[in-house]
Amino acid sequence: MARATGDGDPVTVALLGNPNVGKSTLFTSLAGIPTRVGNYPGVTVEEKVGRFVHRGRRIDLIDLPGTYSLSPQSPDENVAVDVLRGAMNGVPRPDCVVVVADATNLERNLYLATQTLELGLPVVLALTLSDVADRRGIRIDSDLLSRRLGCPVIRVAATTGEGIAAIRDRMLEVLGTPPSAARLVTSTAPNDSDAEAGRSPAARDAIARYAAIKRLLAGVVAMAPPAGKLMEDRIDALLTHRLWGTLIFAAVMLAIFASIFWLASPLMELVSTGMEWVSAFVGGLLPDGAVRSLIVDGILAGVAGSVIFVPQIALLFLFIAILEGCGYLSRAAYLMDRLLVAAGLSGKSFIPLLSSFACAIPGIMAARTIENHRDRLLTILVAPLMSCSARLPVYLLLCGAFVPDRPVGFSWLPLKAVVLAGLYALGVVVAAAVALLLSRTVFKGPPQPFVMELPGWRWPRPAVVLERVREAAWSFLMNAGTLIVAVSIVIWALMSYPRNDQAIDNDVVSLRMSLEAAAAGSDDALDRAELVAELAALDTPEGLAAARRGAAQRQSFLGRAGRFIEPVVRPLGWDWRIGCAAIASFPAREVVLGTLGVIYNLGDLDPAEAEGATALERRLKAARWDGTNRRVFTLPVALSIMVFFALCAQCASTLVVIGRETGSWVWPVVTFTYMTVLAWLGAFAIYQFGTAVGW
């Protein structure tokens, strides 16, 4: 009987194949859930290893990145070649290679298979989608093919599980016996013809290989197309139809966007309610003080702040995995390619960028589907410029309070709506400009071929889809989530310390005096009412606590930083309080409203609720520059804040995820720097312009 660990040395088996040939499905069928998912050293190419025991031998199955050829042209393909040659650090040279080939597209798939056979490693050829080939009337004589190639050839069908046991058996049987047939392409020396003379060895090899494959397949494949149209082909015809195909594409993209924008919110609500309950429970167990504050406001708030992203990530990857499983992801990239090429990106950037309008974090993670590394990095760098749902409350509150309620010019368009739409457009335009600029400068390189198979319709495998969702959520929680908690603790410390109760008392006393003075000097009835209300609130326990909280925050490192940077934010029309709120919103943009509430002595209000929002709106409208009667929040200032938040990178979680996904801390720093500079410039321009024209 097989021991759980297997006997003897583990056998290393590599799984190799073209993209979109059912390699992930085969991996899941053979090895189940991977035991290790990470990156190969030094490159951001995913390393996936599964482990299982067969006939008492432990087998480590390495899932190599999808590749069309072993003459590598991308980091992904380099990794595949390095692993097969035994040149990859920390990865033993495989004892056997399982080459996955699509039975419905054997000719091109044998290109990679024959290259692999020439490496001299034992090979098992798995013909996936064999059931689909049967239905199409494609008959493959696998015995003949096996004799000609000199390696076992196994029919695989994911729907029935056919071939899985046979592959497990063969991969052990072929150990130590390299393929027996002669090399397919023996010489690539130029022949006499003129056309051949100018070709490179690689080009001659490709041409000779296809010619050899044609001879190899003679008598192996017989076609007997079925009489009627297959279900797959009917669906495929609909999806590629000029009109219907485009409409379905739009509907699918809308569904993806709607689901992560709206469908995720009840789930996120559930997560935050659950975390609030945990916080309240834990908080109740601990005595009031620094330890409780650390655990509740630092650690638990950080856990809540990272778990909250899981519903969106899971939903987005559910869609992506289904689209990938159907073969539709490539078609989506094909349909949108031209639009994104104009911005220096490619069609594969579309879904990640679209998702970023809901939240940049799942969007950046979805960039994993972009094989081209330059395009992937560019997409990650500009994704946070898409106006995410966290910016919306900021826009809504400031637009609602400070943008005049009138139509634009002589049109019927309400100005508030135009400003809101403009903020969304601003993000898109700036992202396009940044991507274009970077692709023409820093990321300028040899042209990358956009050469992609458009697979036909196929049914996605639930096991593969669920595994993709689980993997995305898990890797986020384990890698990014833990760091987000750490960042949250640091920010909690910066917001809570130093703390001096005497200074807080003094602050409250001087607040009362300045309010009294302001109320006496105010000539605006509404303002005076707000000042009187604020004064009266100081006599209630809640009002006093809120004022003390505001004072404590103003004293903290972050509060001091707000005062320190005042000269920098002055040209944007901001006073130190807004600067403070902007800095304090580094954990997440939406925090800015809550922080403004605390700074303006309203305590912990909920800006998402009408009551909290109105209270904050009233307080902001009444705010004056220290010691003067001049309003802080005017239209240019509100616009300046909104433009700043549209372009800034005030989201620690996004930066953490960029670091994790790119495997380097350079890129989050670059993202934060360029976005903050752009945000400042944008806010400066709109404020100065708005002030000059007298808005």
Number of residues in contact with another protein, rule: CB under 8 A? Answer: 41
Q: Does 160 bind another protein (CB under 8 A)?
A: no
Q: Does 626 bind another protein (CB under 8 A)?
A: no
DSSP β-ladder status, 123-128 and 153-155: parallel
Residue 57 DSSP SS3: strand
Residue ranges in 230-249 that form contacts with another protein under rule CB under 8 A:
240, 242, 246
Which CB, 77 or 467, lies closer to another protein? 77
* Radius of gyration from C-alpha coordinates of the chain: 31
Element (H, E) at 570: none
Q: CA-CA distance, 451 to 19, in Å (whole number)?
A: 12
Among 87, 175, 203, 291, binds another protein (CB under 8 A): 203
Which CB, 14 or 452, lies closer to another protein? 452
Q: CA-CA distance, 645 to 648, in Å (whole number)?
A: 5
Which CB, 37 or 207, lies closer to another protein? 207
Terminal CA-to-CA distance of the chain, rounded, Å? 83
Among 36, 85, 234, 338, binds another protein (CB under 8 A): 338
Helices 142-149 & 106-117, crossing angle to 10 degrees?
A: 30
Contact segment (CB under 8 A) with another protein among 32-40, 196-204, 535-543, 583-591 equals 196-204
Kindly give, in sequence order, each residue whose CB lies less than 8 Å from that of residue 426, ignoring residues fewer than 6 positions away: 643, 646, 647, 682
Site string for another protein, 247-276 (x = CB under 8 A): ------------------------------
Q: CA-CA distance, 515 to 532, in Å (whole number)?
A: 8
Q: What are phi and psi of 380, to 5 degrees?
A: -60, -40
Residue 48 DSSP SS3: strand
Q: Does 202 bind another protein (CB under 8 A)?
A: yes
Which CB, 439 or 595, lies closer to another protein? 439
Among 455, 587, 607, 636, binds another protein (CB under 8 A): 455
Helices 541-555 & 557-564, crossing angle to 10 degrees?
A: 60
Q: Does 105 bind another protein (CB under 8 A)?
A: yes
Burial class of 15 by CB neighbour count within 10 A (0 to 12, 13 to 18, 19+): buried
Contact segment (CB under 8 A) with another protein among 100-108, 265-273, 294-302, 434-442 equals 100-108
Shortest Å, Cβ 66 to another protein: 14
Q: Does 179 bind another protein (CB under 8 A)?
A: no
Q: Does 456 bind another protein (CB under 8 A)?
A: yes
Shortest Å, Cβ 211 to another protein: 8
Which CB, 98 or 333, lies closer to another protein? 333
Q: Does 111 bind another protein (CB under 8 A)?
A: yes
Q: Does 564 bind another protein (CB under 8 A)?
A: no
Q: CA-CA distance, 678 to 385, in Å (whole number)?
A: 10
Q: CA-CA distance, 19 to 329, in Å (whole number)?
A: 12
Q: What are phi and psi of 26, to 5 degrees?
A: -65, -40
Which CB, 75 or 384, lies closer to another protein? 75
Which CB, 82 or 661, lies closer to another protein? 82
- CA distances, 261 to each of 10, 360, 480, 594 (Å): 46, 12, 21, 22
Which CB, 71 or 506, lies closer to another protein? 71
Q: Does 191 bind another protein (CB under 8 A)?
A: no
Return the bridge partners of 37, or none: 48
Site string for another protein, 435-454 (x = CB under 8 A): -----------xx-xxxxxx
Which CB, 195 or 227, lies closer to another protein? 195
| Structure token digits, residue 560 | 């001091």
Q: What are phi and psi of 403, to 5 degrees?
A: -90, 125
Which stretches of 218-309 are DSSP H helices? 231-239, 242-258, 264-285, 290-293, 301-307
Which CB, 230 or 493, lies closer to another protein? 230
Which CB, 71 or 159, lies closer to another protein? 71
Among 27, 68, 457, 574, binds another protein (CB under 8 A): 68
Q: Does 210 bind another protein (CB under 8 A)?
A: yes
Element (H, E) at 410: none
Q: Does 279 bind another protein (CB under 8 A)?
A: no
* Residue that is written with structure tokens 């239905």 in the block: 135
| Structure token digits, residue 350 | 């579309």
Report which of 650, 616, 611 is spatially closest to residue 633, judged by C-alpha positions.
616
Shortest Å, Cβ 321 to another protein: 21
Contact segment (CB under 8 A) with another protein among 327-335, 492-500, 509-517, 681-689 equals 327-335
Cβ proximity of 185 and 205 under 8 Å = yes
Shortest Å, Cβ 209 to another protein: 8
Which CB, 5 or 71, lies closer to another protein? 71
Residues that bind another protein (CB under 8 A): 68-69, 71, 73, 104-105, 107-108, 111, 195, 198-200, 202-203, 206-207, 210-211, 240, 242, 246, 330, 334-339, 341, 347, 446-447, 449-456
